[in-house]
Structure 1
Amino acid sequence: MNMNSNEPPVVGVIGLGAMGMGMAQSLRRAGFAPHVFDLRSEVAQGFAKDGGVACASLGELGSRCDVVISVVVNAAQTESVLFGEEGKGGVVSTMRTGSLFVMCSTVDPNWSVAMEARLAERGLLYLDAPISGGAAKAASGQITMMTAGTAAAYDKAGGALDAMAAKVYRLGDRAGAGSKVKIINQLLAGVHIAAAAEAMALGLREGVDPDALYEVITHSAGNSWMFENRMAHVLAGDYTPLSAVDIFVKDLGLVLDVARASKFPLPLSSTAHQMFMQASTAGFAREDDSAVIKIFPGITVPAPKNSHS
């Protein structure tokens, strides 16, 4: 544990999935030698072969780190990381007073506000810090972080945030604002994927050559980042889950929960959420979110190409 504030903090990363692995690699590249933990111990050990430390438990990671970065799926997994389950302790049991927990999941903003207070009672700092950008940007240290927290939390993070992200937005002096902005980003991402799928489905139904349609749209005003990215998966017939259908069942559900609390109407989000739920129930839950196109009747989506794109 570094007591000298001039030295970089000892940083830990929990969850070496598509995003967490890239973030840990970016930290290592920046000279942090991160401690890592994943339920798949072989993944953590594989990471540590090139530098860093694989921890055998959450408790071990918590005891060794000034800054703990959690990159798991949702609020429930984050609580499990913090407080443990099935008799196994979480990181809170060993984190020292004044240490920082950085929460990178997409969660209900009210949950994040409550967690900041809950950790403050234990003498721990908290940063509301959802992320965006995808696996490639995580690996190159180019993600976007939507953060909110106290000045002390930012001070404790040292250069760790900038090592992982091209953009670290400071959106408030306490938790909540980061998660609110992330929720709004997810509203747009989900609606854009659903709209892209609907457009491509109409093109297929009308007999337009899908590759030509893709080429025209991506060079026209109707394009979106999600159309360009996700419809490439459809054209390749490759539904390997970079981000699964069920992620948007969850995230658009959170969007609607937040709006429902203040009776705010979200007609497009509601429709997109129904589309992802239909795709999930139809058997595409764990496929790439572009598989939402498979809910449309009377079309044949492109067959898998020989090479993945």
Structure 2
Amino acid sequence: MRSVVFGEDGILAGLKTGGILVDHTTASATIAREIAEACAKQGCGFVDAPVSGGQAGAENGQLTIMCGSNDSATFDAIEPIIAAYAKRSKLLGTAGSGQLAKMVNQICIAGIAQGLSEALNFAMRAGLDPDDVVDVISKGAAQSWQMENRAKTMVRNEFEFGFAVEWMRKDLGICFDEASRNGAQLPMTEMVDKFYAEVVAMGGKRWDTSSLIARLTD
């Protein structure tokens, strides 16, 4: 990340005064603040803007984008542009805030994916049709994006798509680093990360994050 931005032939080397760098990668809040400071010294704007919604969200213009910037006018300038591929974007605070919000997002997904894996495995072992169960409970309090978009493929052991386990583990590592700084406890997330390590050992490093169920059904 630093070489791409700060390198001799990096982004800042070619960014003209008055330009705006929008970073859609998922990285630490620390590096977002470093880039924001460097951009400011160069007379440029910066927005850290990690995304959620996966490949389908990107292809269909339905991404959710969490943004951080030290200048609200900078966000206002780029908002109409990112609206072309996002259904929702929001400025959440100063530089690094977008990355912090993405960490919150990934922590939520880890827990939901594990809970859904356990629930679907339970349903199948209880002799229920998981598709029928999901059809009912997805209309109630258990509903989630993961249930709506991943339950059918999970019970069929289809994982060759979506957001890869190795990428999720990278993101969770960023969460753990930040938690060590702010004092947040992440016991469930740490447990799920260990489960993802088991999925990697099964050969699933490029499987979708919903592949947690494979640990339970194999």
- Change over 3 Å in CA distance of 1:178–1:264 after alignment to 2: same
Q: Kindly indicate whether residue 66 of structure 2 is the aligned counterpart of residue 146 of structure 1.
A: yes
Distance 1:98 1:257 in 2: 33
Q: Tell whether 2:131 aligns with 1:231.
A: no
Q: 1:126 aligns with which of 21, 46, 50?
A: 46
State the match for 1:198 in structure 2: 118
Shift of 1:260: 1.6
The within-5 A match list for 1:80-229 is: 80-84=3-7, 89-149=9-69, 150-157=71-78, 159-172=80-93, 174-229=94-149
Corresponding residue pairs, total: 217
Q: Is the 8 A contact 2:79 2:89 kept in 1?
A: no
Unaligned segments of structure 2, at least 5 residues: none
Runs of 4 or more off by more than 4 Å in structure 1?
none
Structure with the larger RCO, 1 or 2 (CA within 8 Å, 6+ apart): 2
Contact persistence 1:125–1:152 (CA under 8 A): no
- Please tell me whether the aligned partners of residues 83 and 93 of structure 1 are also in contact (alpha carbons under 8 angstroms): yes
Question: Does the aligned pair in 2 maintain the 1:119–1:125 contact within 8 Å?
Answer: yes
Name whichever structure is richer in helix by fraction: 2
RMSD between superposed Cα atoms in Å: 2.1
1:257 maps to 177
Post-superposition shift, 1:196? Answer: 0.7
Give the conservation status (yes or no) of the 8 Å contact 1:127–1:175.
Answer: yes
**1:159–1:262 Cα change, 3 Å:** closer
Tell me if structure 2 keeps the 8 A contact 1:239–1:287: yes
Classify 1:258/1:93 alpha carbon distance in 2 versus 1 (closer, same or farther; 3 Å): same
Per mean C-alpha deviation after superposition, the further-off stretch among 208-217 and 278-287 is 208-217
Q: 1:82 to 1:208 in 2, by over 3 A?
A: same
Separation in structure 2 between the aligned mates of residue 171 and residue 256 of structure 1, nearest angstrom: 21
Q: Distance in 1 between matches of 2:202 and 2:32?
A: 32
Following superposition, the deviation at residue 169 of structure 1 comes to 0.6
2 CA distance for matches of 1:223 and 1:285?
A: 27
- Match of 2:136, SS state, is helix
Distance of 1:146 and 1:133 partners within structure 2: 11
**What displacement does 1:203 show?**
2.4
> Displacement of 1:133 after TM fit?
2.0
Structure index of larger Rg? 1
Q: Offset at 1:195?
A: 1.2
Cα distance in 2 between the residues matched to 1:83 and 1:232:
44
Matches for 1:35-114 after TM superposition, within 5 Å: 76=1, 79-84=2-7, 89-114=9-34
Gapped runs of 5+ residues in structure 1?
1-75, 301-309
1:241 and 2:164 matched: no
User: Does structure 2 retain, via aligned residues, the 8 Å contact 1:245–1:292?
Assistant: no
Pair 1:222–1:159, CA change in 2 (3 A): closer
Alignment-derived partner of residue 199 in structure 2: 279
Distance 1:271 1:155 in 2: 39
Three-state SS of the structure 2 residue aligned to 1:98 is coil
In 2: Cα distance, 1:123 partner to 1:241 partner: 41
Equivalents in 1 of 2:88, 2:141: separation in Å? Answer: 26
After superposition, the C-alpha distances for 1:89-126 in whole angstroms (9 at most, x for unaligned) are 22222221121110111221122112211222333221
Distance of 2:136 and 2:194 partners within structure 1 = 29
